[in-house]
Each structure stands twice: as C-alpha cells, then as structure tokens.
C-alpha cells in the first residue's frame, strides 16, 4: 500500500492538506505537517490533498 510522505523542507504550512484530508494530515506540536497513521490511504480526499499541495511536496512511497 502506498503512503503519502511530506517533504518538510518544501512545505509552506498552507494547511490545504490538513483542510482537505484532516484524517490523514495534521500539524504536529513541532509545527510541521505530519502524516497520520491510517490502514488505508486510498480515500479520494487524500488524493485531492496531494494534488492540491501548492508546493507538490507530498509524494507517494
Ligand atoms: S498542502 Fe503542501 S505545502 Fe500546504 S501544508 Fe500541506 S504539505 Fe505543506
């Protein structure tokens, strides 16, 4: 199964991903976006978040 991975160095903390797919992305205590643990990342909202990231810094591994 593919898992989204965030390039923290490129992320501008625009919060589009956390708004579109809050079940998968959240801003952690350190102030970075992190990928939350899910059994399945196939949800359409997660794909929308990846596509709409303005910095293209979410990739699939
Ligand atoms: S959409 Fe992209 S740039 Fe915006 S907070 Fe999420 S990972 Fe960062």
Q: How far is CA 11 from the centre of its chain?
A: 10
Q: What is the mean predicted confidence (pLDDT) over 52-60? A: 98
**Domains in the chain: ranges and CATH:** 4-60 (3.30.70.20)
Q: What is the pLDDT of residue 1?
A: 82
Q: What tokens appear for 4 in the block?
A: 């989204």
Regarding the beta carbon of 47 and ligand 1, being less than 6 Å apart is answered no
The Å distance, Cα 42 to ligand 1 centre, comes to 18
The full length of the chain comes to 61
Rounded to two decimals, the pTM is 0.95
- Ligand 1, atom 2, lies closest to the CA of 53
Q: Which residues pair with 6 in a beta bridge?
A: 58
Q: What tokens appear for 61 in the block?
A: 């591994």
- In contact, 59 and 11? CB cutoff 8 Å: no
Is the confidence at residue 61, as pLDDT, over 90?
A: yes
What's the pLDDT tens digit per position in 2-51?
Answer: 999 999 999 999 999 999 999 999 999 999 999 999 999 999 999 999 99
């Amino acid at each position: 199964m593919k898992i989204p991975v965030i390039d923290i160095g490129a992320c501008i903390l625009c919060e589009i991903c956390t708004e579109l797919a809050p079940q998968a992305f959240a801003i952690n205590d350190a102030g970075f976006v992190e990928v939350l643990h899910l059994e399945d990342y196939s949800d359409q909202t997660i794909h929308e978040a990846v596509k709409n990231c303005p910095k293209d810094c979410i990739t699939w591994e």
